Amino acid sequence: MKITIAIDGYSSTGKSTVAKQLAEWLEYIYVDTGAMYRAVTLYAMRKGYISDGFFDKESLIAKLDDIEITFVKNTATAKAEVCLNAENVEREIRTLEVSSFVSPVATVSEVRAKLVEQQQKMGDTKGVVMDGRDIGTVVFPNAELKIFMTASAEERAQRRYQELLDRGDTVDYKAVLANVVERDEIDTTREDSPLVKAADAIEIDNTETNVEDQFHTILQLAKDRIAGRV
């Protein structure tokens, strides 16, 4: 039996790392829903709908039908990469600038409705691991396994900071921490589909857990669900 696995949690808690590992191990499809919100944000930035202290929501809503988000497999890494209107934007969506505008974009109900519909279609055959903020609460409220990941803001900022340095970006740790804290605030307090732990989700705090141990814990939970043991 194939199941649906929903992995929600705060930014930079390693959701995508564990989701990718699980999908690979189980031969499931992995969907990074944050990448979809980031691609819409990149579109809004390029059109000039969002910039520092400015957000023209109405223009973005009016153009939603012109935005097509797809995934393409990178043959070298075997990872799915996000495309915006057929342009691979996997690298462009990971900047601190996109990170600073994505949470306001993700508060727009029309944006959410469009992406949630697409996510539900991608998962309707089961055998999917999806990570995001509202997967266990809104996208797949009936998912067989729901994980909710947390870690301290400082630890998460340190991880994101290291990632940005590793890819060659010049960044300041304090700016990354401020972005993590600000996104937590917007993501948890927005009206439409705020980040909350689903009642039946299993919470995992990985401030001090290594990636390997965490993967084995979650893989065991998945195996139990697949076997119908719990």
Pick the stretch among 29-37, 79-87, 141-149, 213-221 that binds ligand DC (CB under 6 A).
29-37
Residue from 14, 44, 134, 179 binding ligand DC (CB under 6 A): 134
Question: Minimum Å distance from CB 183 to ligand DC?
Answer: 4
Q: How far apart are CA 39 and CA 51, in angstroms?
A: 15
Q: How far apart are CA 75 and CA 72, in angstroms?
A: 9
Site for ligand DC in 45-84 (CB under 6 A): none
Q: Is 90 in the site for ligand DC (CB under 6 A)?
A: no
Q: How far apart are CA 96 and CA 117, in angstroms?
A: 27
**Residues that contact ligand DC, how many (by CB under 6 A):** 14
Pick the stretch among 34-42, 69-77, 142-150, 205-213 that binds ligand DC (CB under 6 A).
34-42
Q: Degrees (nearest 5) of the Cα angle 18, 144, 129?
A: 35
Q: Is 37 in the site for ligand DC (CB under 6 A)?
A: yes
Q: Is 132 in the site for ligand DC (CB under 6 A)?
A: yes
Q: Is 102 in the site for ligand DC (CB under 6 A)?
A: yes
Q: Is 13 in the site for ligand DC (CB under 6 A)?
A: no
Residue from 4, 5, 7, 11 binding ligand DC (CB under 6 A): 11
State the residues that interact with ligand DC by CB under 6 A: 11, 33-34, 37-38, 102-103, 106, 132-135, 183, 187
